[in-house]
Amino acid sequence: MSPLRFVTKSCIQEQRNESLAGESASFPPMNTSHYHGVDHHVGNTPLIRLRRLSELTRCEILGKAEFMNPGGSVKDRAALGIILDAEAKGLLKPGDTLIEGTAGNTGIGLTVIGHARGYQSVIVIPETQTKEKIELLRTLGAEVRPVPEKPYSNPDNYNHVARRTAEEQGWFWANQFDNTANRLAHYRTTGPEIWEQTQGAVSAFVSAVGTGGTLAGTALYLRERNPSIAIGCADPYGAAMWSWFTNGNTETNDGDSFAEGIGQSRVTKNLEGLAVDAAWRIPDQEALTILYQLLREEGLFLGLSSGINIAGAVRLARERGPGQTIVTILCDSGAKYQSRIFSPQWLSANGLRTDLSVDTLLA
Ligand code: PMP
């Protein structure tokens, strides 16, 4: 500790004792050993009741507030899990550089948590992602390398670029899609938190799939506690997860979605071995109608993948009837998408509406 910091702390201690003079005879010495940096504050997010949708479905529809993580998304859990696993295996040491191909949130998590633990980050991102996420990554201090969007089968897909660069430079590649430290993080944290927060009353868990870490890791834990908990996958159009879970193939020729961070076309290692009880394809308009209701009436400002998740929870409530406790994920904040789904011009240019009532989802 530098002398300056020591002096500053002593001054704070004196001030605290002074301000308490007359009220308290003594003040215990300041003990900072139980205070930690952001890398110790990932997870333990609140479970928020979505009031109107709960009333309409006569279920408890609950959202895990992952936007409250230090990097602002559910991906902080995977980022921390991957970093801790790599440290334990001796693959990362302070001063090292880590690289990842990411739609943004994993990169944000790796950068924020990486800085707290002494790493630099290089982020390869498809240039189709919002400028908000790309600019945020730069502001956070990541080296951002935008690349043209290409399918996974193309060698220039952002994940392959990240892997190749890691090999060339000797950097650590996080490999969120196939590194199962990702789903293990959800198995160890998201699942237990949901179980404890609902005091074991959770009857269903619903999530969309990006890497599949959230869905698979949480589902594996909850089913271990109670095998009758229903697991549902909410998929955007243009992705293969609905086809995979419903028909066992990875067909994707069924439309498209503006949702970022989700929309998987292959069975990643994080998804391997997972079967679900239900899967739905959710149109963007349905998710958007939910997002605007929550924004206007419940003070929740969320991104489109959260809307798809909640729409899945509502579908499950409709199919299985009242009385359930359904948990889903509020993945990230709408602030990352202001220029798109919260821009009236962008919405009208893309034929999306904000004036529909959520009642129409249950009609
Ligand atoms: N929503 C958003 C906004 C995301 O960035 C991601 C991760 N890419 C997900 C959902 C999906 O999470 P997972 O990778 O655990 O499937």
pLDDT tens digits, 211-244: 999 999 999 999 999 999 999 999 999 999 999 9
Average pLDDT over residues 43-64: 98
CA-nearest of 176, 180, 230, 173 to 207 is 230
Residue 224 lies in a domain: yes
Q: What separation in Å is there between the alpha carbon of 20 and the centre of ligand 1? A: 48
What pLDDT sits at residue 27? 56
Same-domain status, 88 and 169: yes
Same-domain status, 146 and 217: no
pLDDT tens digits for 155-212? 999 999 999 999 999 999 999 999 999 999 999 999 999 999 999 999 999 999 999 9
d(CA 179, CA 182): 6
Domain count, the chain: 2
- Is the pLDDT at 22 greater than 90, yes or no? no
Same-domain status, 188 and 327: yes
d(CA 87, CA 102): 21
Residue 271 lies in a domain: yes
What pLDDT sits at residue 130? 86
Same-domain status, 102 and 28: no
- Tell which atom from ligand 1 comes closest to the C-alpha of 176: 14
Same-domain status, 195 and 281: yes
Same-domain status, 315 and 235: yes
**pTM for this one?**
0.91
Where residue 146 falls among pLDDT bands split at 50, 70, 90?
very high
Where residue 73 falls among pLDDT bands split at 50, 70, 90?
very high
Same-domain status, 114 and 263: no
Left if phi > 0, otherwise alpha if psi is -120 to 50, otherwise beta: which for 95?
A: left
Residue 272 lies in a domain: yes
Return the structure tokens found at 96.
């090292």
d(CA 308, CA 312): 6
- Tell which atom from ligand 1 comes closest to the C-alpha of 75: 7
Residue 356 lies in a domain: yes
Same-domain status, 227 and 285: yes
**Pair 132, 301: CB distance under 8 Å:** no
Total length of the chain: 363
Same-domain status, 193 and 305: yes
Question: Range of 142's domain?
Answer: 75-173
d(CA 138, CA 244): 36
Same-domain status, 258 and 279: yes
Residue 207 lies in a domain: yes
The sign of the torsion formed by the CA atoms of 343, 345, 349, 355 equals positive
Return the structure tokens found at 342.
């919260």
Where does a domain end: 144, 173, 202? 173
CA-nearest of 40, 58, 45, 42 to 329 is 45
Q: Answer yes or no: 133 catalytic.
A: no
Same-domain status, 220 and 351: yes
Among all chains, which residue has been given the structure tokens 């080296």?
143
Same-domain status, 129 and 160: yes
Q: What separation in Å is there between the alpha carbon of 351 and the centre of ligand 1? A: 25
pLDDT tens digits for 303-344? 999 999 999 999 999 999 999 999 999 999 999 999 999 999
Cross-strand partners of 63: 48, 328
d(CA 64, CA 47): 5
Crossing angle of helices 105-117/131-140, nearest 10°? Answer: 10
CATH code at position 107: 3.40.50.1100
Where does a domain end: 128, 153, 173? 173
Where does a domain end: 173, 207, 227? 173
**Pair 126, 158: CB distance under 8 Å:** yes
What pLDDT sits at residue 253? 74
Counting ligand 1 atoms within 8 A of each CB, the residue from 42, 75, 310 with the most, and so the one to mutate, is 75
pLDDT tens digits for 273-290? 999 999 999 999 999 999
Residue 1 lies in a domain: no
Residue 3 lies in a domain: no
Q: What is the DSSP string of 255-299?
A: -----SS----S--TTTTT---SEEEEE-HHHHHHHHHHHHHHH-
Residue 343 lies in a domain: yes
- Tell which atom from ligand 1 comes closest to the C-alpha of 104: 5
- Is the pLDDT at 113 greater than 70, yes or no? yes
pLDDT tens digits for 117-130? 999 999 999 998 88
